Structure 1
């Protein structure tokens, strides 16, 4: 993805979250110059992958296949000293924009539609060899247990939520004609470098063509390597 495209996606995201009366933390608006002056007292932001995360999943077409996320808080799989056992993310999903089928090896998450359009969630159980199972699925929607056939799709209108356990394949998109969707994800600790299993091989983090200066940094711009 071009940096100019990422910058424009961020501008539109900021406008949307402001219109929805959602407030991002101050570090959401730090550019490279502001980041250069931040010392070890901001290590949690860097090490726990807080901040902007934009991907087209290697598709080359963000609007068709892509996702914008902003990690507000997170623990850390790799530090025994980290006591935070939970994570929170903001997600924005466009109409018809697909997040491909995937599951998480360890993360349990609540996906909450905070406003805008309707979010569609298709689900499958996984087999022992990590393929799609044809067995029924069991999920909780706002505290109500549902038993559904494999491949079922649930529509989440604003205010509704769903709990997705580990190893449950899910695919997300915004319902056509309903508008873009503001979502929060509340989950156990998350590391997207190691906890995602996509049904089809994809690129989780895009290669970036630096055609202009970053508006705000992605967390991959300042993320330290896993030791």
Structure 2
């Protein structure tokens, strides 16, 4: 992805959030220079928790067809999770565009609630994780939808209207996209580690490869290692 494209997507995304009355935290608006300065003084948790902007095309080269817009608002630590006490949770806000696929994947550790906060319909394709770790194409999937058990048959799709949510556990393969418009999506989960805890069915890249055709308006979480060193 080109840096100029990412800058434009961030600006469009912030406007989309605001159209629903959703406001990002102050650090969302730090310039790269301010982010560098603040992380070295009073905001080290932003970098250590990988909080902030995350724009990815999963290596597809086609963001509108296969991609995702995420912003990590808060995130606990793996050490707290290991000890079973402390900040054991994370929160994201996302934009899932109409017909924009997030590829089939599951997590080893993370459980998550995926919440349709507004806009179109969020469509999910669900499968169980087989004993060998592959996608189980033979069995129905049972999930909690707003506290109620829902069985999703093989070949069926789960559709979430605004206000609805689903709880996904580590043994749930899932892919999703928007229908009838772009969707504002919330995620509440256990501690999030996007570098090690995403298992994709197909070979994809979790973070976009960036062509630097300009300066970043905002840093992505995948920029932190390079830009904040």
Cα distance per residue 1:118-151 (max 9 Å; x no partner): 1001100011222111112110111110122234
Cα distance per residue 1:31-72 (max 9 Å; x no partner): 112113212421111001100011000100000000000000
Structure 1 partner of 2:45? 44
- Please tell me whether residue 113 in structure 1 is matched to residue 100 in structure 2: no
- Please tell me whether residue 137 in structure 1 is matched to residue 138 in structure 2: no
Structure 1 partner of 2:32? 32
Structure 1 partner of 2:152? 148
Segments of 4+ moved more than 2 angstroms: 78-83
Higher helix fraction (1 or 2): 2
Aligned length: 222
Alignment partners' CA distance in 2, 1:112 and 1:129:
30
- Summarize the alignment of residues 77-226 of structure 1 with structure 2, pairs less than 5 Å apart: 77-78=78-79, 83-133=86-136, 134-175=138-179, 178-223=180-225
Gaps of 5+ in 1: none
TM-score (structure 2 length as normaliser) = 0.93
Structure 2 partner of 1:59? 60
Alignment partners' CA distance in 2, 1:151 and 1:171:
13
Structure 2 partner of 1:22? 22
Alignment partners' CA distance in 2, 1:88 and 1:143:
19
SS of equivalent to 2:17: helix
Cα distance per residue 1:157-201 (max 9 Å; x no partner): 1000000011210010001xx211001000000101000110001
Alignment partners' CA distance in 2, 1:108 and 1:25:
24
Alignment partners' CA distance in 1, 2:21 and 2:225:
29
